[in-house]
């Protein structure tokens, strides 16, 4: 941490903001883990509790917003203080979205648990683990002011994208095989999409951590998974007989 | 790879311009005590440069080197190479009175002469022999007061004493007085510290207009003011120039820990 301000209450307010973000992050991690367990354990009551818990994250985001507005208006922050406050605002928004996706996964879990299990469901935990790991690591990077660790997460999103594309392909096969698979497989597609989006928000948070620490935006192109889902569903050219 | 910010044509012209003022290895001593240590700086024309730093850091001392105001202090000794448009400010051939006409100064406390508003402005041009006829004097009084943003407020009472104006008006009168001798550089030492926020805003707006024609340096204790008005910021600490760069960079991503500590209020 940077040395303390002469005005101690400024430090208290910054610490409070940091604490709110940390709590949001902890809740989002927990909710994502619970949403995934509610699929693997077929636990719909856990899914329902997870859906309800999202309101807490929303409340904390409002608290973070209010704290940011107060700090900007009353402290006129500059340099690393300014960057810390702006990063907090954007990271809070990112975590709120991640928690929303966790809620969506939980909603799908409730519907999915009422249907006969389909094979691709066993691929969900792998994507889920990758998403949870990214979230956990990016939040650690934020707490530790670690730009290197943030960049490591930023570069890792490719893996999650690839897992998503391969699940997408697998799910399509099952749908084509048996029309009765379409309903559960559609839920799985949305679940996988939500997890993939969580990875995107983690990379955004990583960029904010990098900016907060260094004062610069990370340069260069983020590596993208080579296999895009658009290629998977591209119409096959019909060759005339 | 860091993104390169787009540079407008006007900005690139400014960048290509030669510095208006330069200092190399500037050292200043008050008796045995050294107040400035090897300061190097290039001040660009038509820009506002802010000098910031805690009390006693040497920023005012350095400002006063440029128009040799430190000559008036017996125990003060200045060494190093200071130039205005490449011309040695401390050369034997320099006429200090002429120099101070080219590099004008505005002080912390408004200090109008105990004379009329008109005479305050006309005084400089008269002693420098810049005007001869009455109509020329009247023209210079009007244009100087207009440039200082004061004309509309005082045009009907030019013969009233300058000391009867409000603090902010007095400070703008002092700026008009500095402008009247057609300076190239205006040094401002805490020009707003005795003014209320509205008068301060008027001076800041005026500074922004003045930079079209002049090079300005402002010493200020208000970091917010430095951020608002300047294009370049120099941070001084214990007689040393710690960091000098674009104001935007200094206030968003300072390179030096000391700069960061000072502008964020972590040491004073």
Per-residue pLDDT reduced to its tens digit, B106-128: 999 999 999 999 999 999 999 88
* Cβ-contact B175, B181 below 8 angstroms: no
Please give the pLDDT value at position A235: 56
Low-confidence ranges of chain B (pLDDT < 50): 1-2, 268
Cα distances (angstroms) measured from residue A237 to each of A6, A171, A228, A231, A234: 70, 22, 18, 13, 9
**Predicted ipTM?**
0.78
Span A96-110, mean pLDDT?
A: 97
Q: Judge whether A235 is closer than 8 Å to chain B, CB to CB.
A: no
Packing angle between helix A182-214 and helix A79-113, nearest 10 degrees?
Answer: 170
A80:B267 CB<8 A: no
B264:A80 CB<8 A: yes
* Per-residue confidence band for A3, with pLDDT thresholds at 50, 70 and 90: confident
Helix segments in B111-166, DSSP class H? 117-127, 134-147, 151-154
A217:B3 CB<8 A: yes
* Cβ-contact A202, A98 below 8 angstroms: yes
Please give the pLDDT value at position B267: 77
- Other C-beta atoms closer than 10 Å to the C-beta of A116 total 8
Question: Which of A79, A217, A219 lies nearest to residue B260, judging by beta carbons?
Answer: A79
Q: How far apart are CA A5 and CA B16, in angstroms?
A: 40
Quick: pLDDT tens for A180-219. Answer: 999 999 999 999 999 999 999 999 999 999 999 999 988 7
Question: Which of A5, A214, A217 lies nearest to residue B265, judging by beta carbons?
Answer: A5
Please give the pLDDT value at position A232: 66
Please give the pLDDT value at position B12: 58
Q: With DSSP H G I counted as helix, E B as strand and the rest as coil, what are the percentages for chain B, rounded to 5?
A: 40, 25, 35
A10:B254 CB<8 A: no
Question: Which of B223, B224, B268 lies nearest to residue A6, judging by beta carbons?
Answer: B268
Quick: pLDDT tens for B193-227. Answer: 888 899 899 899 999 999 999 999 999 999 999 99
Q: Residue A133 above 70 pLDDT?
A: yes
Please give the pLDDT value at position B15: 56
A100 CA: distance to closest CA in chain B (Å): 32
Chain A from 61 to 90: CB within 8 A of any B CB: 76-83
Which range, of A86-90, A156-160, B23-27, averages the lowest pLDDT? A156-160
B263:A77 CB<8 A: no
Q: How far apart are CA B251 and CA B222, in angstroms?
A: 13
Cα distances (angstroms) measured from residue A201 to each of A21, A148, A153, A206, B186: 15, 18, 11, 9, 51
How does the average pLDDT of chain A come out, rounded?
91
B252 CA: distance to closest CA in chain A (Å): 4
The kind and range of the H/E element at A89 are: helix A79-113
Please give the pLDDT value at position B6: 59
Q: Residue A37 above 70 pLDDT?
A: yes
Secondary structure E strands in chain B: 21-30, 33-43, 48-52, 76-84, 87-88, 103-106, 185-189, 215-219, 232-237, 240-246
Using DSSP, state whether B246 is helix, strand or coil. Answer: strand
- Closest by CA position to A223, among listed A166, A160, A174, A168: A160
The pairing of beta strand B33-43 with beta strand B48-52: unpaired
A79:B252 CB<8 A: yes
- Other C-beta atoms closer than 10 Å to the C-beta of A52 total 10
- With tokens 């600490």, the residue in question is B237
B252:A82 CB<8 A: yes
A83:B1 CB<8 A: no
Under 8 Å CB pairs connecting chains A and B tally to 51
């Amino acid at each position: 941490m940077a040395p303390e301000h002469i005005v101690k209450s400024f430090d208290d307010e910054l610490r409070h903001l940091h604490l709110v973000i940390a709590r949001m992050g902890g809740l989002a991690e927990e909710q994502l883990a619970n949403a995934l367990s509610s699929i693997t354990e077929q636990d719909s009551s856990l899914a329902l509790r997870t859906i309800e818990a999202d309101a807490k994250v929303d409340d904390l985001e409002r608290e973070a917003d209010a704290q940011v507005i107060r700090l900007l208006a009353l402290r006129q922050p500059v340099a690393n203080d300014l960057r810390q406050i702006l990063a907090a605002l954007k990271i809070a928004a990112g975590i709120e979205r991640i928690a929303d996706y966790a809620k969506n996964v939980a909603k799908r879990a409730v519907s999915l648990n009422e249907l006969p299990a389909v094979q691709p469901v066993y691929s969900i935990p792998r994507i889920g683990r990758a998403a949870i790991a990214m979230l956990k690591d990016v939040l650690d990077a934020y707490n530790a002011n670690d730009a290197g660790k943030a960049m490591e997460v930023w570069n890792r999103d490719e893996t999650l994208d690839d897992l998503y594309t391969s699940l997408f392909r697998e799910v399509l096969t099952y749908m084509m095989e048996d029309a009765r698979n379409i309903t559960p497989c559609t839920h799985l597609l949305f679940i996988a999409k939500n997890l993939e989006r969580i990875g995107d928000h983690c990379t955004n948070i990583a960029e904010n951590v990098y900016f907060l620490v260094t004062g610069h935006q990370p340069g260069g192109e983020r590596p993208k998974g080579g296999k895009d889902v658009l290629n998977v569903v591209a119409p096959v050219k019909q060759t005339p007989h | 790879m860091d993104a390169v910010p787009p540079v407008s044509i006007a900005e690139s012209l400014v960048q290509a311009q030669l510095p208006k003022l330069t200092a190399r290895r500037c050292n200043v001593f008050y008796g045995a005590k050294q107040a400035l240590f090897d300061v190097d700086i290039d001040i660009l024309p038509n820009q506002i440069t802010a000098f910031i730093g805690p009390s006693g850091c040497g920023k005012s001392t350095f400002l006063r080197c440029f128009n040799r105001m430190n000559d008036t202090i017996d125990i003060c000794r200045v060494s190093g190479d200071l130039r205005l448009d490449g011309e040695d400010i401390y050369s034997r051939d320099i006429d200090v009175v002429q120099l101070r006409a080219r590099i004008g100064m505005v002080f912390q406390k408004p200090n109008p002469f105990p004379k009329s508003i008109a005479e305050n402005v006309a005084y400089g041009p008269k002693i420098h022999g810049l005007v001869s006829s009455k109509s020329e004097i009247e023209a210079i009084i009007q244009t100087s007061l207009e440039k200082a943003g004061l004309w509309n407020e005082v045009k009907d009472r030019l013969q009233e004493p300058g000391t009867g104006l409000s603090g902010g008006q007095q400070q703008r009168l002092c700026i008009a007085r500095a402008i009247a001798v057609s300076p190239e550089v205006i040094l401002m030492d805490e020009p707003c510290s005795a003014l209320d926020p509205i008068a301060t805003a008027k001076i800041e707006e005026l500074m922004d207009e003045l930079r079209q024609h002049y090079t300005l340096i402002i010493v200020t204790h208000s970091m917010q003011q430095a951020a608002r008005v300047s294009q370049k910021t120099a941070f001084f600490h214990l007689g040393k120039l710690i960091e000098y760069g674009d104001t935007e960079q200094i206030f968003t991503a300072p390179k030096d820990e000391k700069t960061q500590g000072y502008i964020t209020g972590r040491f004073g």
